[in-house]
Structure 1
């Protein structure tokens, strides 16, 4: 299961991140669009070294190598304006918002497809189409498709049963009064589905 950091700072964020990993988090996408390069370095340094291989950088990609991170995420805009350097040495992910964009991907290990449901963290961010129906026309089987947008404990099972390979959580974790408890509940549902 994937968790994306809240774009802005959260109280006790590093402690919560370490706890998420201790509870079985697979990947943490670090999405801090307003962080300077220095702030990003400081943020990464605070996360336990043993979890570096589970971190994914959304920006300041140049910091990856020196930070021991081999996972890079490209926004839709960045993907269209970038050339993937050394695709064999890194694990690449990206964001898509239509099945057509997802189907056209090359050299990406996985991609977010969103929004599946109305967003928990972004106001007025709703699905433009039924992505469960759209997934029926999936032709790209090299790239894993990850559901994003409005994913919570009540709809994870439905999401995985309708063709998504995995889910990414943001609002359901960081907007919850007990992020760890919420993560454990969601993680349990994902694990039970994969059995």
Structure 2
């Protein structure tokens, strides 16, 4: 499974919607709308437009952070931070995803009935400059201890994706690799081909 996490601020060309649509055509399986600085009124029109397009491709849209928008557009899922997930009893009819940064957080998220976890950050990445990456060991540890899907995030590209998949990740998530790409379609296609190659050898 190939997840795309959006970031409108790093797009180099074309519109926000076009980059995402091209990525979906290239092989993205799930889109996480993560524009956390936007208010409800600012995010809603984009979310509606994006969901209408993704529905046409039968691609799930998960909204990060803005629960009201997720509910309003009947998104496939809602994604949140670990702290918010354990502090609030989030009620949402759909997938509930949680960002985790340790084995302990992953195990607690499963116990609190998350549907999947986003584990980061695996490799060095511009998004987390100066923060030491967790490495693929974290994926291996989490996979040994939880049963829900584990999606790896952070600095993943076509050259290191095999390491992440070999560690047992159920999917990978990328942001800048696609959102900041000059060719989002080709970037997504490269990653999807690597995933398919890996699965065909299993």
TM bucket normalised to smaller: 0.7 to 0.9
Query: Residues 56 and 72 of structure 1 are in contact (CA less than 8 Å); yes or no, is this contact kept in structure 2?
Result: yes
**Equivalent residue, structure 2, for 1:24:** 27
**Equivalent residue, structure 1, for 2:97:** 93
**What's the offset of the Cα at 1:123?**
2.1
In the alignment, structure 1 residue 65 sits paired with structure 2 residue 68: no
**What's the offset of the Cα at 1:191?**
1.5
In the alignment, structure 1 residue 42 sits paired with structure 2 residue 53: no
In structure 1, what is the Cα distance between the partners aligned to 2:179 and 2:172?
15
Query: Residues 120 and 172 of structure 1 are in contact (CA less than 8 Å); yes or no, is this contact kept in structure 2?
Result: no
SS in 2 for 1:77: helix
**What's the offset of the Cα at 1:180?**
1.9
SS in 2 for 1:51: helix
In structure 2, what is the Cα distance between the partners aligned to 1:54 and 1:29?
9
Task: With the length of structure 1 as denominator, give the TM-score of the two structures.
Answer: 0.88
**Equivalent residue, structure 2, for 1:174:** 179
Of 70, 78, 94, which aligns to 2:84? Answer: 78
**What's the offset of the Cα at 1:173?**
1.3
SS in 2 for 1:33: coil
**What's the offset of the Cα at 1:98?**
0.6
Report the RMSD for the aligned CA atoms in angstroms: 2.0
Of 34, 55, 65, which aligns to 2:61? Answer: 55
Q: Deviations over 1:89-145 (max 9, x none)?
A: 311111000112112223111101111111143322331x4442662363111x111
Assess, with a 3 A threshold, how the Cα gap between structure 1 residues 22 and 177 changes in structure 2: closer, same or farther. closer
TM superposition outliers: structure 1 runs of 4+ over 6 Å? none
Unaligned segments of structure 2, at least 5 residues: none
In structure 1, what is the Cα distance between the partners aligned to 2:25 and 2:188?
11
In structure 1, what is the Cα distance between the partners aligned to 2:96 and 2:67?
11
Unaligned segments of structure 1, at least 5 residues: none
Q: Which has the higher helix share?
A: 2
**What's the offset of the Cα at 1:169?**
0.6
